[in-house]
Structure 1
Amino acid sequence: MSSIDVVIPNYNYGRFLRDCVRSVQAQAVENLRILIIDNASSDDSVEIARSLAAEDPRIEIIARKVNKGLHASFNEGIDWASAEYLTILHADDLLAAGALKRTMDCLGRYPGVAMTCGRTVRHGEEIRDARLGSDWRIETGESFISQRCRTAHNTVACCGVVVRTSAQKIAGHYDERLSFAPDLEMWLRLARLGDVARTSATQGFVRVHADNASAYTRERLAPELEAVELSFETFFGKENAKGRDVSHLRTQVQRSIAERAYWAALAHLVRGSFTGGWELARLALRRRARMILMPPVGYILRRQDGVRRIGQVVLEAKKRRFGAQWQRAGNRTS
């Protein structure tokens, strides 16, 4: 019978930890282990973790006295894992009902798959289309890598990913040089080792709050894009060291970074985020100056969510405009 290990890195997320672990315990999986790695939290995280472990023998705890950083937690979890499959779940996120069983069934059916990923939504958002099925689309690792390069956009969240542990051991540790969102570079490495299975089923819930990166990058996306570029360059460096020619992929990423920055700049400016908008515009035009005369429409078509994102920005702009008009009208009548 197949087995899975779940690693939960935690730092000062005691207020979320219990819900995170409960979402794992609720999975319809028998051979399951959970490792909570606390990175010297100053809140009540360790007490909560110990309480959870006392209730469930499947839970193990590593409670550090010194904060070694997120990479150390990821990598210690990789070294600890011994089950057939592995997932790393941030302590502020949640697994969707049935997520692990869906994935384990898929990995059992398709031995050539190294990594699976599914849809994730923000915690608290309604799943309007109730995507709880088990449809899977298998794509080659090369196709997965190519698509990431064509958009320079990491749409794969940790809480939606399960990997074959044997592939993870070969891929190795997360690269400590990547201080921001090191997962993209890891997905690229895993895709070199086998196929990637994708499902439209909701696999996880991502919390967005004041203490995580998502809250910051909405207003300051330029540093994130530079970090994404560094992730690709780190991957390309390892590929070159293995004798692989990735010059065409590097060219595609450089173009995609510029084009993504262009459209993100417009979106920020429309929303009224002028500091972030001009920062993105400078980033885009430094890399591809001709876009000032020729907008990169092709980038929107390459992104699966491109049209939807434009619609969202237009809707936000309308709300902002009419909201300001209503506020001025209210001030005149008060």
Structure 2
Amino acid sequence: MTADRSTLARTRSGRVLHIVPVALRRRPHVAVVVPCFNYGRFLPAAVGSVLAQPGVDVSVVVVDDASTDDSLEVARSLAAADPRVQVIAHESNRGPVETFNDGLAAARGDYLVRLDADDLLTPGSLARAVAVGEALPDVGLVYGHPVHFHGDPPAPRRGRDRASGWTVWPGTQWLADRCADGTNVITSPEVVMRMSVVERVGGQQPLAHTHDMEMWFRIAAFADVAYVRGCDQALHREHADSLSARKVDDVKDLEQRLEAFEVLFAGVVGEVPGASVLRSTALRAVALRALEIASHRLDRGRASESVTQGLAAVALRAWPEVVGQPAWARLQRRLQAPGGWSPRRPAAVLASAASRVEAERAVWRWERHGVYGGAR
């Protein structure tokens, strides 16, 4: 299916569309905000991956958050070498949210990308993403597949530099699916946002680990969402110093997801028709996920009392009625089993195997469709 006005009408009617990609007909301007704190060693590669993008005009706003390494000097040298690079320097450390929002205030373009200084864009990723936005004006957020890596950036994978298709969801349906499973399906650098939609919904909210997630969901409440299939759109570096790797265990992760949903529906999204139902769905999903993780940890013999209690507390906070649900009963049976719950019990072995199979299926769906479940 090619993109045209009838396609837009069908998208708004509630259908998930699978569309044959069309080429760009102009050179849109993409503004890329690069928050940086002590990533001077990675910064040239990140900025270079933007400046080398074909088919689009780009500008880069590097915001140094009072780094204690040579990040500011590196950023200024990049700006001196290329007029498309601008540098903003914080005198004191303000954290990732204020750092991005300061860059957003200075960014000018048709589209927007937030690129951490330790991540990279793949060659051609911006042109592939904005082609969707140019063909479908109601799309406000485009994402694709990110490659997670350790050490040196991997070489481009053969055949992963072209889009095989676009999947387009009505934004509220994509948001409803995320509320139903309580998860975030986006890493971060693979996202391209329409600037006019960002100007409408605002920048990031002061959340410790889920500021990106909340912003993606907020955009989806007001614009359609698209996924670029069949290609790698960004490279996400995994290392011990990254924000995502620090201080985020299962309990903290779910607490932060819960907080993201609470902030989301306390803001402009709370005024969207059906918001109260979406909120209830999301909180229920977080609660059930907390209990699922707690039971799975017990089945694998990897549960501490503090983590189990923490997960149960998250579930109760999110959805007090969870105490009457089968998931709560399953967890209580494990906690109250005579002699303690052993991963060698047949029930534990079967449950653990089923969990592994479902996790593998979810990853398979995400790799190909950009979502773990829901309509695709």
TM range (shorter): 0.7 to 0.9
Q: What percent of counterpart residues are identical?
A: 32
Match of 2:262 in 1: 233
- How far apart are 1:28 and its partner, in Å? 1.1
- How far apart are 1:24 and its partner, in Å? 1.3
Confirm or deny: 8 A CA contact 1:222 1:276 kept in the other structure.
no
Instruction: State the Cα deviation string for residues 74-98 of structure 1 (Å, max 9, x = none).
Output: 2122222221111010111111221
Matched, 1:39 2:69: no
Matched, 1:114 2:166: no
Match of 1:208 in 2: 238
Confirm or deny: 8 A CA contact 1:239 1:245 kept in the other structure.
no
1:96 to 118, 122, 135: 122
- Identify unmatched segments of 5+ residues in structure 1: 296-302, 313-334
Q: Secondary structure of 2:41's partner?
A: helix
Between 15-24 and 35-44, report the one with greater CA deviation. Answer: 15-24
- How far apart are 1:123 and its partner, in Å? 2.0
Confirm or deny: 8 A CA contact 2:251 2:311 kept in the other structure.
no
Match of 2:39 in 1: 13
Match of 2:111 in 1: 85
Pairing of 1:1-334 with structure 2 (within 5 A)? 1-124=27-150, 130-134=159-163, 135-176=165-206, 178-200=207-229, 201-216=231-246, 220-239=249-268, 242=271, 244-269=273-298, 270=300, 272=302, 274=304, 277-279=307-309, 281-283=311-313, 286=316, 287=319, 288-289=322-323, 290=325, 291-294=327-330, 306-308=358-360
Q: Which amino acid counterpart does residue 50 of structure 1 have in structure 2?
A: R
Q: Which amino acid counterpart does residue 32 of structure 1 have in structure 2?
A: V
- Identify unmatched segments of 5+ residues in structure 2: 1-26, 332-354, 365-376
Match of 1:319 in 2: none
Confirm or deny: 8 A CA contact 2:168 2:224 kept in the other structure.
yes
Q: Flag the 1:279–1:51 CA change in 2: closer, same or farther, 3 A.
A: farther
Distance 1:261 1:90 in 2: 29
Distance 1:239 1:171 in 2: 8
Count of paired positions: 302
- How far apart are 1:292 and its partner, in Å? 4.0
Instruction: State the Cα deviation string for residues 138-183 of structure 1 (Å, max 9, x = none).
Output: 100111110110111111122010011111111112122x232211
Confirm or deny: 8 A CA contact 1:36 1:59 kept in the other structure.
yes
Q: Which amino acid counterpart does residue 155 of structure 1 have in structure 2?
A: V
Q: Which amino acid counterpart does residue 288 of structure 2 have in structure 1?
A: E
